[in-house]
Amino acid sequence: MPKITYIENNGKSYTVDVSNGLSVMEGAVQNNIPGIDADCGGGMACATCHVYVKEEWFDKLPKKKDGEEDMIDMAFEPNKFSRLSCQIEVSDELDGLIVKLPEKQA
Amino acid sequence: MMINTDVLVIGAGPTGLFSVHQLGIIGLKCEVVDNLDKIGGQCIELYPDKPIYDIPAIPECTGEELTKNLIEQIKPFKTKFHLSDRVEKINYEENKWLIKTNKLKEFRASSIIIAGGVGSFEPRKFTIKECEKFEGKEIFYSVKDKTIFKNKTVSIFGGGDSALDWAIELSANSKVQLIHRRDEFRGAQASVDKVKKLSTEGKIELLTQYQLSAIAGDNKLQSISIKHDSETIKKIETNYVLGFFGLVMQLGPIATWGLNLDKKTIPVNTENFETNQKGIFAIGDICAYPGKLKLILSGFHEGALAARGCFKYARPKEKLKFEFTTTSKNVQSRLGVKKND
């Protein structure tokens, strides 16, 4: 099972196994990792599952879908490595992925 | 003035609306309070045009259509909606809940159904702490009186329709900067074109790949600093700042009502969706129980049971008889059905 690492804004890090096919957001929520709210439940309608993808991983991820960038406009302090974690589907290729969490989601 | 009713429903999204229906057919009166200025909740605010495919027996409909049909379905009950208002305080007195809203309306109800989604919608604000100091004076997240901007400098942040529309409108009589974090705008193409045209004509200063980084002024806002993606900083003397970053959902005052909370959700029992507080029920996205699915259809089921849960508080001496809408004369008369037989 792919391992995904989530690093909180305060530096606290969590590495968990996430099944293929789940989203990076679901991986966080199911493992009770704080810092990802996911208010809309994965509908790309709220920008509260915003993460900063570790630089070296950013280009390895499947590209953003229509509408994701629009929603990132509303995220808390977005930067060029911003993604919505509900839109990143976990697969073997993403084993070892590292995402950093913003200071807060809203 | 005190409004007396059987049930106060908080939230006018699909789940709240259908609970109104279920209360109505068992003969209970209710009133609805919602923080938004229109009925429909997330369906209207987040995805009015997006098709929904998993409403039972409706192969496809948009959030707006679903809302319209739900409103039509509860018409017979002539329910009163209190929009753009928010429940602030609740108190339990003499077997009733006393409820106070932001606009100082007061209700007395034997129970409360919280169908609050993920809380109330609030404008998303600037992340810089000092902005709070100027909020409502020189920094705004919505425009109430546009005349104050006349002949002033106004810095508008955002990339959606609100930001574009206000930039266009205010550029007639104010010095306007439109500042956005990237080159693309998500607003309507016609507005984007208009803004670009006004920018080449020098009527709007367009600053993209910039975000707010600092703000200066003692009692009055004097200037803002914006940071480019390339880390360079630009200082702008300005009178007013407008931020249009859409809405966020905040649990708000619900968190202070003595309810058990699990993150942003309220645990309930699945028998009648009552919370740890007697007479307070929670349904839809805001409730939590093992196996909870955040689907509209689950919210409908939860509303049907919560409505029946309210009955014993509203009519403690009566026993609720289960009736079908197809056969019950009682229910049909409440629905205003006229039979030609």
Residue B309: predicted pLDDT = 98
- Both B239 and B259 in a single domain? no
- Both B129 and B238 in a single domain? yes
Residue-range domain boundaries for chain A: 3-100
> Of B228, B245, B262, at which residue does a domain stop?
B245
- Both B210 and B76 in a single domain? no
pLDDT averaged over chain A? Answer: 93
- Both B212 and B288 in a single domain? no
- Cβ within 8 Å, pair A77-B127: yes
Residue A51: predicted pLDDT = 97
DSSP state of B322: P
- Both B154 and B225 in a single domain? yes
Residue B99: predicted pLDDT = 97
**Residue B340 confidence (pLDDT) above 90:** no
**Domain that includes residue B224, residue range:** 125-245
Does any domain span residue B329?
yes
| Closest residue, chain B, to A29 (C-alpha) | B263
* Residue numbers in B near A46 (CB within 8 A): 46, 118, 248-249
pLDDT band of residue B63 (cuts 50, 70, 90) is very high
**Residue A6 confidence (pLDDT) above 80:** yes
Residue type, position B319, single letter: K
Q: Is B55 helix (H, G, I), strand (E, B) or coil?
A: strand
Burial tier of A49 (Cβ tally within 10 Å: 0-12, 13-18, 19+): buried
Does any domain span residue B217?
yes
* Residue numbers in B near A74 (CB within 8 A): 124, 245-246, 248
- Both B217 and B252 in a single domain? no
**Of the partner residues B127, B181, B229, the one whose CB lies closest to the CB of residue A73:** B181
Does any domain span residue B341?
no
Nearest-CA neighbor of A87 among A65, A57, A60?
A: A65
**Residue B49 confidence (pLDDT) above 90:** no
Does any domain span residue B340?
no
Nearest-CA neighbor of A76 among A30, A36, A29?
A: A36
| Closest residue, chain A, to B161 (C-alpha) | A70
- Both B143 and B221 in a single domain? yes
- Other CB atoms within 10 Å distance of the CB of residue B123: 14
Look up the CATH number of the domain holding residue B135: 3.50.50.60
* Residue pLDDT, tens place only, B182-206: 999 988 999 999 999 999 999 999 9
- Cβ within 8 Å, pair A76-B186: no
State the average pLDDT over residues B248-268: 90
> Of B209, B226, B245, at which residue does a domain stop?
B245
* Residue pLDDT, tens place only, B92-140: 999 999 999 999 999 999 999 999 998 888 888 998 989 999 999 999 9
Instruction: Identify the bridge partners of residue B99 per DSSP, sorted by sequence position.
Output: B90, B107
Give the Å distances, CA to CA, from B39 to A31, B16, B30, B71.
35, 10, 15, 8
Residue B246: predicted pLDDT = 84
Residue A41: predicted pLDDT = 81
**Of the partner residues A40, A69, A73, the one whose CB lies closest to the CB of residue B160:** A73
CA distance B7 to B111: 5
- Cβ within 8 Å, pair B47-A73: no
Residue B40: predicted pLDDT = 96
**Fold of the CATH domain A3-100:** Ubiquitin-like (UB roll) (3.10.20)
| Closest residue, chain A, to B187 (C-alpha) | A70
* Residue pLDDT, tens place only, B272-283: 999 999 999 999
HSE-up of residue B37 (Cα within 13 Å, Cβ side): 1
- Cα–Cα–Cα angle for B220, B226, B229, nearest 5°? 170
CA distance A51 to A11: 14
Domains: count for chain B: 2
DSSP state of B135: B
**Residue B46 confidence (pLDDT) above 80:** no
- Residue to mutate among B15, B124, B230, with most A CBs inside 10 A, is B124
Distance between B127 CA and the closest CA of chain A, angstroms: 7
* Residue pLDDT, tens place only, B281-338: 999 999 999 999 999 999 999 999 999 999 999 999 999 999 999 999 999 999 999 8
Residue B341: predicted pLDDT = 56
- Both B57 and B14 in a single domain? yes
Does any domain span residue B339?
no
> Of B219, B245, B271, at which residue does a domain stop?
B245
- Both B264 and B179 in a single domain? no
- Both B110 and B216 in a single domain? no
- Cβ within 8 Å, pair B186-A73: yes
Does any domain span residue B184?
yes
- Both B136 and B103 in a single domain? no
Residue B262: predicted pLDDT = 87
The encoded tokens of residue B204 equal: 């709007």
Residue A10: predicted pLDDT = 94
- Both B197 and B96 in a single domain? no
Q: What is the ipTM of this complex?
A: 0.76
Does any domain span residue B50?
yes
Residue B121: predicted pLDDT = 80
pLDDT averaged over chain B? Answer: 94
